[in-house]
Amino acid sequence: MAVIKRILLLMLVVGASTQAHTQVGRYMVFFKEKNGTPYSISEPQEFLSQRAIDRRSKQGIAVTEKDLPVNPAYVESVKSIGVDVFFTTRWMNGLLIQCDQTLVDDVAALSFVDRVDFVAPNARLLGNGRKKVPIKQKTSRVANVTSTQLEQLNIDDMHQEGLHGEGIVIGIFDAGFGGVDVIDPFAAVIAEGRIDLEASKDFIINSDNVFQYDPHGTEVFSVIAAYQSGSFTGGAYKAKYQLYVTEDAATEYRIEEYNWLFAAERADSAGVDVVNSSLGYSTFDNNAMDYPKSALDGKTAVVTRAAQWLADRGVLIVCSAGNEGNNGWQLITPPADAIDVLSVASVDAKGARAASSSKGPSADNRIKPDVAALGVGTSVIFPNGSIGAANGTSLASPLIASFAAGVWQKYPDLTNKEIMTLIRQSGSLAHAPNNLLGHGIPDFTKIESYLISLEKNPFSVFPNPFLDSITIKPFSPGMVASCVATLITAEGKKVFETTLSFTREEPSITAKLPGLAAGVYMLKLQWKNGSQTMKLAKQ
């Protein structure tokens, strides 16, 4: 535990000053490089927990220079100017500060500083602000109200197989978790120490107390983790959890995207497996911060980039698609546009799309949202312990996060992206996905049959038609480690043959095929226990 605590402290570098709080704002300072950092990718244990290292290793993901902490000497130099310094970001090589605007130019003038961006007004990061409100608990004893939302995904079958999220660590990024530490539906989680209090963090005011603020996070968390015998069952109620307050419900500024980034890096370092984020960012209180619809391209919004970086490190991310479907915006909200994030639409108990559920596609024309779950009348626990119903993709998302935890628990040797593929392909619309419900409502009972079908035809080959090369990719290197690829003309003449070996580090291989005449070819892939043949067209 001491090692994890030291690692997490690398991200928190608080330095108080006596500056007068006039025209105080919060700013992101970005450094030009990481020269002189005392950290090395050859010693990742200095900044990543063993669980985080193991996650990468298992999925064939290398630790890179992007993972190195910022140079602490840079942080000290910024601090010496008289500003308050707070959270650092490894992936964007930066630092959050709070200071009078008159000091910003001094920070920007430092030789190693690339730029300084304004992200929010006012001082919020010295522990001032909202206080914890005492919770008056109200006990609910009603028939199990979660059956509809669980049965729609066949999570009840998942539970019958003994899969409740055991051994999976789920991170929740939200607006606060009031009452979670004191109300009955979370009693088992608290008593069994399944919330990682060392990792959990409030990034809004820089507090270690996440059990306060807006009820939204409590409701979202309850869909996953709450349990009350006979009345309420969360989707993955036996998992372990990390709780992060990244959303300031009172305002909307870019800082909340950076809070999400800080939480992502902290969760990554602490060894999270699955993240649920029922948050989205498109417009802000400062109109200059707004994103245009063209920014929904999977690589522009800060929170989208943060989500993709987290996914690239082996974490499975589930997020709400957004509730903009019947207003002027209509589309998904970042980070739902990220390529390797499962964005979730909202449906009612009959599977019909909620009118408010945000639509796709992404700006670069990818299918979004990815899947759907119950977001109309979803049963939740309120901060006072009572059971009620709430609406929105915010409640659909934790159902899919629970589903993902159970699938990964059952198939622990698969990667995050392979689990995402399974979830999509188990959907009710997998045969014809659209930009309203994506691949539809996932079905736990279809996962195994889809995997069995993959064992017979595990390879995908693209593009088709092709010009002068094709890429060959098994669903999982663990399924087929090597094969012989043979390309044959329509007349039966062999024109290409090679042996291919697949690893986690190299999960797909591109074969160069220059000089072939246009026409139809047959590609045969032969491996130890089977073969697969497909028709390809050469342009």
Q: Are 93 and 33 in contact (CB under 8 A)?
A: yes
Rounded Cα distance between 313 and 171, Å, is 15
CA atoms within 13 A on the CB side of 302: 20
From its phi and psi, is residue 180 left (phi > 0), alpha (psi between -120 and 50) or beta?
alpha
Going by the DSSP 8-state scheme, the letter that residue 361 receives in this structure is -
Q: Are 341 and 438 in contact (CB under 8 A)?
A: no
Other Cβ atoms closer than 10 A to 475: 21
Nearest to residue 301, comparing CAs of 283, 323, 274? 283
Q: Are 380 and 389 in contact (CB under 8 A)?
A: yes
- Annotated catalytic residues are 174, 216, 394
Vertex 235 angle, CA 234 and 240, to 5°: 85
Rounded Cα distance between 240 and 439, Å, is 28
Going by the DSSP 8-state scheme, the letter that residue 6 receives in this structure is H
Rounded Cα distance between 519 and 539, Å, is 7
In this structure, the dihedral spanned by the alpha carbons of residues 327, 354, 437 and 389, taken in order and rounded to 10 degrees, is 120
Rounded Cα distance between 251 and 257, Å, is 12
Other Cβ atoms closer than 10 A to 455: 12
Nearest to residue 485, comparing CAs of 446, 420, 518, 531? 531
Q: Are 317 and 341 in contact (CB under 8 A)?
A: yes
Rounded Cα distance between 105 and 115, Å, is 10
What does the block give as tokens for 51?
């669980």
Going by the DSSP 8-state scheme, the letter that residue 440 receives in this structure is -
